[in-house]
Copies of this chain bind each other. A is one copy, B any other.
């Protein structure tokens, strides 16, 4: 029963999807499911990496604790995403902290020894792991690009446009994965700045925001902002 559940969750992972049932079954053998409560620590930085994880329920935050108390959020993981593969396959220890963000948060735990063994035996598993790692590289490279943009407006616009959204006749509805404070932290900006920015855009009719849901009334303008068109001048001077 549990075993079958594990197999089911495993094969739902993006890079394990292509694996045949027997391969999945072999991976499932060494795995187990564990549950955390909100804000509980999953692992800490520098701790020995004994396993990597996949989110089955709830969500997880990967962050680096800073001296001044302002943590830097590296990622926010949701159902169907895996993390800490690289720590397990290479580093030996976790390079960041992870904690559950909901109660309950259920994770599939794939122990280090188990993966390393399978990696040697089956090239299809190796290929799957290579896929997982590659995806992380792309995500991180995007993140580097995002953070290296000086203008906060551009940063926010880009980020919003990348979030999953539902479109209804030219308008997009986005539901933030966390609080606005989290979003600010993710973008490395002050919460006040985020609030003000949203207000300005609201006043310009670009969007509306109620709690965690944001309605993009005019996605095109936001795209223009994301492309670096100066937010201020675009409002007054139509064509100088």
Task: Show the binding face of A for B, using Cβ within 8 Å.
Answer: 64, 66-68, 72, 74, 85-86, 89-91, 95-96, 119-121, 123, 126-127, 129-131, 133-138, 140-141, 143-145, 147-150, 188, 227-228
Contact of A144 among B72, B89, B123, B149 (CB under 8 A): B72
**Cα distance A204–B145 in the bound complex, in angstroms:** 33
Number of copies: 2
B residues near A66, Cβ cutoff 8 Å = 228
User: DSSP class of A's interface residues: helix, strand, loop or mixed?
Assistant: helix
Residues of B within 8 A of A141 (CB): 74, 95-96, 140
CA distance A180 to B227 in the complex (A): 27
Query: What 4 A-B pairs come out closest when comparing CB atoms?
Result: A90-B134, A140-B140, A126-B126, A133-B133
* Complex contact A127–B123 (CB within 8 A): no
**Residues of chain B within 8 A of A148, CB atoms compared:** 72, 147, 188
